Amino acid sequence: MLVTRRSAIATGAAATLIGMASPVRALTPTSDQELGPFYPVQHLADTDADLTHVQGLAGTANGTAINVVGRVLDIKGNPVSGARIEIWQANAGGRYRHSGDMNNKVPIDPNFQGYAILRTDRSGNFKFRTIKPGAYQIPDGRWRTPHIHFDVSGHNERMVTQMYFPGEKLNETDFIFATAASKPSVISRLDNALSGDPNTPAYGWDIVLVNG
């Protein structure tokens, strides 16, 4: 088992909570995941929470629209208000809006924003609308399962991770998903009741920081 400073802190925090006179069950911290090669060094000026439209264009992104709804919490379950969240992802065909993505068989979708900056509210909530990303093959022949990248900055901690989708067959063989210390912590749940839109599927996912 890979032990990092972050996981050691989490273990210590959990032990402290268990030893309290009135025990509080510590949450499982969301597992770190690698940044990946396609962090958007350049992106559109439009960085709002609707990735299915690009400001100034009339079109809509290709693919299945989804809502992602969740919270940022600390290990005790307290909400982390004002957390900054950067998200980026491939389009429905599995291509990033990034100069390093050489998958020329899949075109860039001009109507897909591909990147956003969010802030959690006072209760730690966040929500964004996007397209379910496609799987893609990397140059060595391996496949990446559908996922969304997150870079989360709380009050005391920054974490880079990736959110995965339930029931994806490629989850079983994805080499980055396999490195998660807690695989359930990086898999979202299908929960259409969260959507607020009966025509759009919703995925719920809470991000747990050790120190908030």
Return the closest-CA partner of residue 134 out of 168, 95, 101. Answer: 95
Distance CA 86, CA 208 (A): 16
Q: State the catalytic residue, choosing from 98, 115, 136, 164.
A: 136
Distance CA 192, CA 190 (A): 6
Q: State the catalytic residue, choosing from 95, 97, 129, 149.
A: 149
Handedness of CA 28, 34, 39, 41 (dihedral sign): positive
Q: State the catalytic residue, choosing from 98, 144, 164, 203.
A: 144
- The yes-or-no answer on residue 147 being catalytic is yes
- The yes-or-no answer on residue 96 being catalytic is yes
- The yes-or-no answer on residue 136 being catalytic is yes
Using CA atoms, how far residue 66 sits from 104, 191, 206, in Å, is 25, 11, 16
Q: State the catalytic residue, choosing from 96, 115, 164, 203.
A: 96
Pull the structure tokens for residue 24. 């509080």
Q: State the catalytic residue, choosing from 71, 95, 129, 147.
A: 147
164 near 152, Cβ under 8 Å?
A: no
Handedness of CA 162, 146, 190, 61 (dihedral sign): positive
Return the closest-CA partner of residue 11 out of 37, 29, 32. Answer: 29
Provide the 10 A C-beta neighbour count for residue 78: 11
130 near 51, Cβ under 8 Å?
A: yes
Give catalytic residue positions.
Answer: 96, 136, 144, 147, 149
